[in-house]
Amino acid sequence: MTPGPKATDAQPLRSDAERNRGRIIAAARTVFERDGLGASMASVAREAGVGIATLFRHFGVKEDLIAAVFADRMDAYVAAVDDALGVPDPWAGFTGFVEAICAMQAADRGFADVLTTTFPAAEALEERRAAAYQGVVELVARAKDSGRLRQDFTTQDLVLLLVANAGVVGFAGDTVPGAWRRLVALLIQSFQAPARGPLPDAPADDALYEAMVRAGAASIASRERGSAG
Amino acid sequence: MTPGPKATDAQPLRSDAERNRGRIIAAARTVFERDGLGASMASVAREAGVGIATLFRHFGVKEDLIAAVFADRMDAYVAAVDDALGVPDPWAGFTGFVEAICAMQAADRGFADVLTTTFPAAEALEERRAAAYQGVVELVARAKDSGRLRQDFTTQDLVLLLVANAGVVGFAGDTVPGAWRRLVALLIQSFQAPARGPLPDAPADDALYEAMVRAGAASIASRERGSAG
């Protein structure tokens, strides 16, 4: 461990290792934003200008890197739930929350996937997700009680919306940047009470969770294939 | 070119080359269904049990293979438009069509992507798409004239629906097989007149087309990366 450069201002001393870690996280943020979570560890190392061995020394598994990169986004997600619960009008709180998280997806393709992907090994990230989920349950219950949200709405419908929106965001990219706003506006109108008709049953919670776990496993597996490219 | 085996029944003689071609198309259908259009040419060759050189001799570019594999699905798509135009009730014709093409997406992940992806080099496929599009324009116009479809609906909204549904189908896979039905039912309710509120502008036709071309180019590029895996 070599000593870091002398700090000439208020900045604390930082070791090479800490600098590398920060550089890797910044590079991964760029790569995940551009290519989604399927991006390879090799492409992150390239973007960071470090060797693949250095990358793996800092983040032994891709979950650790994902958790580090998206820690602040997950914080913003938790904050969006809290903000929405603070809005006096429950319907405005609910729809504002839906628009806010879909906007977060549009701003960051990697995060678009994180919202509908579970990484059981990334504990800090999953703790934030669980905390947000409790708030979302309350948000949905309040909006239903207000009579503005259809009674057959479930939190699983939010997962469907996020997956659908991730699809549109990934497809539209920078070419049709506002496309997602129209999809989300249509879906919000469909959520509004009174329901215009019955719906097929919502997917079961545990099956949806299994799909989220599978999506996570697939993101991580893509490292193997991509690292050869 | 070696002569094919003697036909022992009504089957016509087939050369080895023709047999290989058929085997490659069947294998590609399996692989695209399972992994989407991003699947590599190498994985198609493996599934078909032929060498990569044989595969490329039959299909010099991935577009040719995609066009051959999905020729019958595109025919079914064109037929679905024609069927819908034959339904006396314009709203029933429109919603039946939406459900039918979303069901086609759910049955085949590869086709789910083909519906929202353009391959300018695959002429036979694009001719079918253009023919279907004319019918879709008429279907939308009839449903609007009937007063059941909201007046601000555009054919671009169908592209958004197909992209959103492809996202759900890809995510849900065999784990939550019916999830797409609920999303599509919600969206159909949102399409119904009278509109519950204004919408952000629909994406411009040419920008959406560009996104479809980009999606096609991305599918083909994935061959390069995937072929190393």
* Residue A43 neighbours by CB under 8 Å, 6+ apart: A31, A35, A226, A229
Does the beta-carbon distance from B201 to A214 stay under 8 Å? no
Q: Are B65 and B59 in contact (CB under 8 A)?
A: yes
pLDDT of residue B12: 56
| Stretch A195-209: mean pLDDT | 95
What does the mean pLDDT of chain A come to? 89
Pick A111 or B11 by higher pLDDT: A111
φ/ψ bin of A209: left (φ > 0), alpha (ψ from -120 to 50), beta (otherwise): alpha
- Closest-CA distance of chain A to residue B131, Å: 23
| Stretch A118-124: mean pLDDT | 88
Mind listing the pLDDT tens digit for each residue in B170-223? 999 889 999 999 999 999 999 999 999 999 999 999 999 999 999 888 877 754
Query: Which among A163, A181, A228 has CB closest to B171?
Result: A163
pLDDT score of B166 more than 60: yes
Does the beta-carbon distance from A164 to B178 stay under 8 Å? no
Query: Which among B179, B201, B204 has CB closest to A203?
Result: B179
**Lowest mean pLDDT across A5-19, A106-120, B33-47:** A5-19
Nearest CA in chain B to A179: B203
Nearest CA in chain A to B167: A167
Does the beta-carbon distance from B171 to A116 stay under 8 Å? yes
Does the beta-carbon distance from B210 to A157 stay under 8 Å? no
b/e B52-91 (16+ beta carbons within 10 angstroms → b): eebbeebbeebbbbbbbbbeebbebbbebbeebbebeebb
Q: Using CB atoms within 10 A of its CB, is residue A193 exposed (0-12), middle (13-18) or buried (19+)?
A: middle
The pair of structure tokens assigned to B212 is 């479809």
Nearest CA in chain A to B196: A189
